[in-house]
Amino acid sequence: MVGLSSLGRLAASPTRHQSVLGTLQSVTGGTVLGGVLPHATPALGQSLTPQALESFYNASPSSDTSGGQTIAIMAEGDVSQVPQDLATFESINGLPRVPVTVIRTGGASSDTSGLSEWDLDTQSSTGIAPNVSSLLLYDAPSLNESDILTEINRWVTDNKTKQASASLGECESLAQASGLEPGGDQVLKQAVAQGQTLFASSGDTGSFCAGLIGVNGVPLGEPGQGYPATSPYAIGVGGTTITGLPAPVAEVSWIAGGGGISLTEPAAAFQKAAGGSFLPVGRGVPDVAFDADPLSGYTIVTNGQTTPGVGGTSLSSPCWLGVWARAQGAHSGGLGFAGPVIYNTEPAAAFNDIIVGDNVVYPATPGWDYTTGRGTPNIAAFVAGA
């Protein structure tokens, strides 16, 4: 998951985006302290393919209903290599070619440090939903708050696709103080009104947020959760570990998967009756989960080379984007925002309830919990249940 920091200031948004930002005059922006933190951890040969994940989560390429759907990924920097890597990945895995359109939301950038991150996002989302009609790669010039807010805002104002994934975040206390959280919520509230869903990584530092001492994959950091996963207008995605590899058997909560009670955001309206471990004292994350542990990671292509064992909630969030694209395609793209569907429409059978493991502070429990939300998807049941 990518980390942001908060310094500096964003001037009023460009004219073309005023329809969403409205009266928002300024948001504090920032430079990046930690930069991109992708999970490129070797998995001791225990690395999964799209077909293995589809099989484990009860789906198959032949049952892919994502045709006609467009998906979007929030990215940053020089992404010119990403479409080439995706094409190579598709060739290796026998998947159809998904057209990619890069939408630059600021000036050009030469930063390629996040290449494996954006490769993971694009290759996992289309790996789960290989029949999507197209992929939009929104490209910010930096990970500054102002640039990320502009990028998400562009996705909303474009309204070209009803689903997107953002494998990035910032400690909610910083995001609130800087203005990113209220500004982002204003933009995402408009997205919800338009029937759009942003899936967001819950973080890779367990029940903490990655601030000054956060390191991806290590459950340690400051109190609080990560934004935008905590937004009541987004869907936070946590992580699990698939056990029994090389033949997947079961799941437990990933100890480094983000999750907990938000210190700055209220409980989302759609989750107030979540049951299980949920306490209606603040926004609870995550809402759902997917494989994320690098030890049960995903094989991607980066710079033309196969890279096994890439993981983190940067894997789980775009995978849920793919699941949602399947559900949308099966229901003519009219499901609207995913929150009420996940909590109020989908039956328990649409999820694998994870009841083993923890993320340090919060244990996995029967029903909803602060490590995996409602659980991981039974994709066939989820698509039907939507």
Which residue did the predictor score with more confidence, 370 or 177?
A: 370
- What is the residue whose two structure tokens read 């244990």? 363
- Measured from the Cβ of residue 108, the count of other Cβ atoms closer than 10 Å reads 9
pLDDT at 129 over 90: yes
Q: Write down the pLDDT at residue 7.
A: 27
To the query of whether residue 287 is one of the catalytic residues in this protein, the response is no
27-41, 80-94, 255-269: least confident range: 27-41
To the query of whether residue 117 is one of the catalytic residues in this protein, the response is yes
Percent of the chain with pLDDT strictly greater than 70? 87
Amino acid in position 35: G
Taking CA atoms, 181 is separated from 105, 184, 368, in Å, by 20, 5, 25
**Mean pLDDT of the 88-114 span:** 97
Domains of the chain: 36-385 (3.40.50.200)
Q: Is the pTM of this model over 0.85?
A: yes
Q: Write down the pLDDT at residue 212.
A: 66
Q: Which runs of consecutive H residues, i.e. helices, occur in the chain? A: 18-21, 50-56, 82-93, 115-128, 145-158, 172-178, 180-193, 313-330, 338-340, 379-385
Tell me the pLDDT tens digit for each residue of 228-277. 999 999 999 999 999 988 888 899 999 999 999 999 999 999 999 999 99
**Among 6, 178, 314, 317, the one annotated catalytic:** 314
- Percentages helix, strand, coil for the chain (3-state, rounded to 5) are 30, 20, 45
**Mean pLDDT of the 282-290 span:** 98
**Among 76, 78, 85, 117, the one annotated catalytic:** 117
**Among 121, 151, 172, 346, the one annotated catalytic:** 121
Q: Write down the pLDDT at residue 245.
A: 86
To the query of whether residue 125 is one of the catalytic residues in this protein, the response is no
**Mean pLDDT of the 289-317 span:** 94
Structure tokens that stand for 337 in this block: 């925002």
**Mean pLDDT of the 145-162 span:** 96
Tell me the pLDDT tens digit for each residue of 334-381. 999 999 999 999 999 999 999 999 999 999 999 999 999 999 999 999
pLDDT at 83 over 60: yes
Q: Write down the pLDDT at residue 210.
A: 79
Which residue did the predictor score with more confidence, 376 or 5?
A: 376
Q: How far apart are CA 314 and CA 239, in angstroms?
A: 9
